[in-house]
Amino acid sequence: MTTIEIRALYDEYERRNADYPGYRREETDKTVRMVNDDEDGHNYLVYSSLSHEGAEAAIDGELAYFRGLRRSFEWKLYSHDEPADLKARLAARGFSIGEDEAIMALELAELPPELAADNRIDARRVSDEEGLAAYAALDALVWPDDHEECMRELTRTFREEPGRQSLWLASIDGVPACAARIDFPPRSPFASLWGGATLEAYRGRGAYTALLAARAKEALARGYRFLTIDASPMSRPIVARRGFRLLSVSNPCDSPPE
């Protein structure tokens, strides 16, 4: 498939028809929102289809809606969204524009040999509460600022919807060195990769690639057609070397304080 064709599927399944565990999906004629079941949790606007003339009214409507809920939200903006100046419009309205994230996808039918080969590193899927605790401990070291809310959602999904996600740990010399997860949304051909940060002392020793391979194999075994990742500047060249294609560039745009 061409990159444009894959991007169109991504928009359809991962944005217009998004399904997040622990969230209520709301659709208007112009936008799709994901509202957290937890009143203190993060909320998202995951898709918009706006005209040049109607963009300002749509922004007003979303700000008013979430203010009515007394909640903040993140507008997930993509570089191919219309109108072309939407990022500038959001910034002018007080949104805080986050760093670029590369939205990349791999067609699993084209799985490169490096990811299809047997792992040389101990990569294991978390299957019990002991493993969950080890995952949480490593996550706290790598992501101290975002750890609590993220682990709250992951723990709920792990216990209540175990088929929806898989948590993975890679260990080096018996020490958990890298934690990552993969999400398996229903009714979508895309499995999505998250996490993957490695403790500094163990970087460059293959832990990230081991978990990338383990999750790719699991997705393929479960019948998914694509892997997708919101790649940071650090991970983008790693996954690009392994066949991932750039679909778009995303920016998290946090709503202004009331």
What is the model's pLDDT at position 11? Answer: 98
Digit-coded pLDDT (tens) for 178-203: 999 999 999 999 999 998 888 999 99
What is the model's pLDDT at position 148? Answer: 79
Please name which of 181, 182, 166, 169 lies closest in space to residue 122, comparing C-alpha atoms. Answer: 169
Residues 191, 215: Cα–Cα separation, whole Å: 9
Digit-coded pLDDT (tens) for 128-179: 999 999 999 998 888 776 667 788 889 999 999 999 999 999 999 999 999 9
Q: Give the residue extent of every domain in the chain.
A: 3-102+250-254, 106-248
Cβ neighbours of residue 254 under 8 Å, at least 6 residues apart? 72, 73, 74, 75, 95, 96, 98
Residues 179, 149: Cα–Cα separation, whole Å: 16
Residues of the chain whose pLDDT is less than 70? Answer: 145-147
What is the model's pLDDT at position 173? Answer: 93
Provide the β-strand partners of residue 33: 26, 45
Q: Which amino acid, residue 137? A: A
What is the model's pLDDT at position 147? Answer: 67
* CATH superfamily, domain at 106-248: Gcn5-related N-acetyltransferase (GNAT) (3.40.630.30)
Q: Please tell me whether the peptide bond between 252 and the residue prior to it is cis, using omega within 30 degrees of 0.
A: no
Residues 20, 183: Cα–Cα separation, whole Å: 9
Answer whether 3-102+250-254 and 106-248 agree in fold: yes
- The fold of 3-102+250-254 is Aminopeptidase (3.40.630)
Is residue 81 within 8 A of residue 224, CB to CB? The reply is no
